[in-house]
Amino acid sequence: MSPSIASKYYETPYVYAKNYFQNYTSLVPPSAPNGVLNDVIQSDGDSDFFARRAAGALYNFQDMNQAYFISAQGGNPQGFVQDVPLAPEKLYPLGCSIPIQLLIQFGAYPAQLTLQFPGVTTAYVGVAPVLFQGAKRWKGAPNNKPNYKYYEKEFNYPVPFTQDWTYLLSPNYTQFNVAPYRTFYQTVNDYDFELWAIEVNADFDNNTLSTYSGYMLRLYDANGYVLMKDFVHYRNLSYVSGFSGTHGTPAGPGLTNQFIPNCFPCPPVVFPVGSIIKFDVLSLLDTQATSGTSISQVVNFRGVRRIPC
């Protein structure tokens, strides 16, 4: 591609995501016909989107030409795709939504997580996320190039928070009232900061409570523009990435779990000095013993400082 063409656009990282929360009050999910659910992840309508990774409860999906991606119209027989690297990347032009399919079996979506809450009648919530990681492509020149020379030095912004709330509000869990998400902030000090990766404490301290269902994140850029259409589980944002079995157990010495590196954020996100790193947290804790009631969490924003020289 010639420089004259390449200079006419720039990219920002983005995740087109859609979550399916299925509520029921017995071990048998609610009655629903088995088959394929046809749906779309609606376009934001503001830019082209290049999908580079698909993950979640996908049976199948289509590209911009309505061609099916997985075994033509046969789809994924398990109805569950954990990770699909898309190379070459798939283009969804401005205004083009992403057609997706979920396979309903025994009245349920293929849940990645199942939450459980006690009571005279037990409340269950199945969580089936679908996501496409990639980049929005905008016309024009990027506005994050500094007007000074600089060198880069590795720097991290760890942001601790206490996860002490469950997905459903107590005490009447069978009403399925969802607890509000909570928002956390980190001020960028001293120098401009370039975010390269997200890390969570289940990655770096081998968190013993890593078998709990965890939480979902929604991240914003320095201008307050959200970088994902819906909440995304930290396992699909963390730089080690990927789920292993039902839960995302951390990688570490002696462990054999396989993780697939993701592509978020790609390209990096620049937070100028004085700006705010803002993110929302949707708790996926339930009341099972493996969940815990108050967990010290850390979201570590890894990257580099741009130090003038």
Which pLDDT tens digit goes with each residue over 32-45? Answer: 678 888 999 999 99
| Structure confidence at residue 207 (pLDDT) | 46
Domain ranges, ordered by start, for the chain: 7-139, 150-308
pLDDT in tens, 131-162: 999 999 998 877 767 888 999 999 999 999 99
| Structure confidence at residue 248 (pLDDT) | 41
| Structure confidence at residue 36 (pLDDT) | 87
User: CA 160 to CA 103: how far, in whole Å?
Assistant: 38
Decide which of 201 and 222 is more confident: 222
| Structure confidence at residue 71 (pLDDT) | 59
pLDDT in tens, 68-79: 887 545 667 666
Judge whether residue 242 has pLDDT over 90: no
Judge whether residue 245 has pLDDT over 60: no
* pLDDT-above-90 percentage for the chain: 48
Judge whether residue 256 has pLDDT over 50: no
Confidence band, pLDDT 50/70/90 cuts, at residue 113:
confident
Q: Rounded mean pLDDT of the chain?
A: 83
Evaluate whether 296 touches 228 at the Cβ level (below 8 Å): no
| Structure confidence at residue 27 (pLDDT) | 66
| Structure confidence at residue 271 (pLDDT) | 96
Query: What is the phi-psi region of residue 291: left when phi exceeds 0, alpha when psi lies from -120 to 50, beta otherwise?
Result: alpha
| Structure confidence at residue 221 (pLDDT) | 96
Beta-carbon contacts of 104 under 8 Å, excluding residues fewer than 6 positions away, are 32, 33, 34, 35, 36, 37, 79
What φ, ψ does residue 107 adopt, rounded to 5°?
80, 10
Evaluate whether 157 touches 188 at the Cβ level (below 8 Å): yes
* pLDDT-above-70 percentage for the chain: 79
User: CA 12 to CA 263: how far, in whole Å?
Assistant: 12
Using alpha carbons only, give the angle 21, 24, 28 rounded to the nearest 5 degrees. 115
| Structure confidence at residue 201 (pLDDT) | 79
What φ, ψ does residue 155 adopt, rounded to 5°?
-155, 145
